[in-house]
Structure 1
């Protein structure tokens, strides 16, 4: 899922009392979401927090869409026709509902709550995403990971993993990538990464050991949560720079909070992102578009009832590279 829209401006908010010293590494940036309609036969609207004009990446995480809960009887659900990807991995994670995934390397899988579906595009893949007839409420996140240049042309692949819940103070975690709370996902990554769903009981506080070499992002699905003393509301993403080895989270509400914690070592390469492609230059992106429109390189998605998506026209101005904010 993607769009060609540009990012927006982040804000910063602190819940700590005036004058309270906060270590430099514990300053939290609050990245607000904005609504973005996705194209296709049945468009849905998502809340997008990455990329933004002032922050394109958190580790190698370069894209975060958050959607639902949506009543499928009203919205029609998700129907994203076959479309291409290069230079990235898609991470599909649901809170409710079910999505049927088909791709051009022959994968056919169901995306279900609490189960990771990770697709590596590498040099090129196409896939479709359709909510199933069993789905009544659709709710989840779609995330992208940028591949480093040395792996950007790797062979396409698909992996599925259902992490077990592990207990943390005041809640539990499901670690789908990387290591947290004593649990490690077996799914390999091309750069050091962390991805986990967290739930916190009403009023609970937890302190998690984190890698000080990682930058972290916390996406709030439900509840209002203090991240290192900064209040995050639903659909907001909090950013924490590298340096700290502990992350303290507090659920300030009287209902269970649900969060997605992302992390990774700073991604120092410049990348070009446009539509569903990531590359190292505008010329590389233009070639990917040409190949898709001419039916080469990406293969065919079998089993989808309908036509593939057409690529939008390339912008008239040169594509600008994105990189980490230092």
Structure 2
């Protein structure tokens, strides 16, 4: 998914110095963002106070929206560098196209994973004939320096490992959880899992990872904090298990990973290290060569916003 803000704010993130070594409870407030075609998403990461969770650097939650009489998601071709996109649905379907020639419909509990590497462009849209409801999350993972100039790639995984037991069912989207490993390519120690729970459960976690949970449906209590749908709670590090409780079927996403050591600059759809790198990526997108072409999308590609007057500087994880 693209950041379609016409005046995107530069975000400085990364670095370990601002990561608490112990557990915390930090409720992240969403920022409503209009993607056009009547679609509004809740931007939960980055926020004013929290920039990353492990290598996870961007989280949009959308729906459930009734799009029976609407076009649904319509995100025109746009560029990326330095990141992976993770498309995750609970309801509906999204058609992915990219400059590699990929054409794939992603459906609920299927992983669409795109690695931008040095440069890629893609579009996302609801198919012309689509389901009534659309509900999901779009996430970005920052690539470490050793892999951020890798070849672009797209992966589709319809079957993902599932961990079950004691009122919990967990689909492993990225990384590893309780011995189950996702087939999605990961470049840092990371975990992303979709959890369905009913009752009182304890989820094993890594003490060296920092975590957050995104509630998708139902009312759930996480480590003693009551959360409603579309809430995101940052939990910090230092736990070996995470207690969750619900009085009925509830769904949430667990995101975590080793704190990302490198300092980054995020602007629009680019994750880089310097102001010059971001500026060059913008110029290359406007020139039209480096990012290739997305064929088949019915509409123009997204123009790049204007860069701010001041240089973009990488800083720490929190403000």
Question: When the two structures are superposed, what TM-score results if normalisation uses the length of structure 2?
Answer: 0.91
Report the count of equivalent residues.
306
Q: Does the aligned pair in 2 maintain the 1:7–1:53 contact within 8 Å? A: no
RMSD after superposition: 2.0
Q: Does the aligned pair in 1 maintain the 2:161–2:182 contact within 8 Å? A: no
**Secondary structure of the corresponding residue to residue 68 of structure 2:** helix
Q: CA deviation at 1:165?
A: 3.2
Change (3 A) 1:7 1:277: closer
Structure 1 segments unaligned to the other structure (5+ residues):
9-23
Q: Does the aligned pair in 1 maintain the 2:162–2:180 contact within 8 Å? A: no
Structure 2 segments unaligned to the other structure (5+ residues):
12-20
Alignment of 1:208-287 (within 5 A): 208-251=203-246, 253=247, 255-287=248-280
**Secondary structure of the corresponding residue to residue 62 of structure 1:** strand
Structure 2 equivalent of residue 2 of structure 1: 3
Q: Does the aligned pair in 1 maintain the 2:10–2:265 contact within 8 Å? A: no
Structure scoring higher RCO (CA < 8 A, sep ≥ 6) equals 2
Q: Cα deviations across residues 86-144 of structure 1 (Å, max 9, x unaligned)?
A: 11000000001011101001111111100010000010000010101122211100000
Q: CA deviation at 1:74?
A: 4.4
1:315, 1:325 → 2: CA distance?
A: 21
**Stretches of 4+ aligned residues off by more than 3 angstroms:** 3-8
2:275, 2:64 → 1: CA distance?
A: 36
Alignment of 1:167-178 (within 5 A): 167-178=164-175
2:35, 2:310 → 1: CA distance?
A: 23
Question: When the two structures are superposed, what TM-score results if normalisation uses the length of structure 1?
Answer: 0.89
Q: CA deviation at 1:200?
A: 1.1
Alignment of 1:111-260 (within 5 A): 111-132=106-127, 133-161=129-157, 162-201=159-198, 204-251=199-246, 253=247, 255-260=248-253
1:122, 1:297 → 2: CA distance?
A: 12
Q: Does the aligned pair in 2 maintain the 1:30–1:232 contact within 8 Å? A: no
Change (3 A) 1:296 1:43: farther
Q: Does the aligned pair in 2 maintain the 1:58–1:215 contact within 8 Å? A: yes
Q: CA deviation at 1:29?
A: 1.1
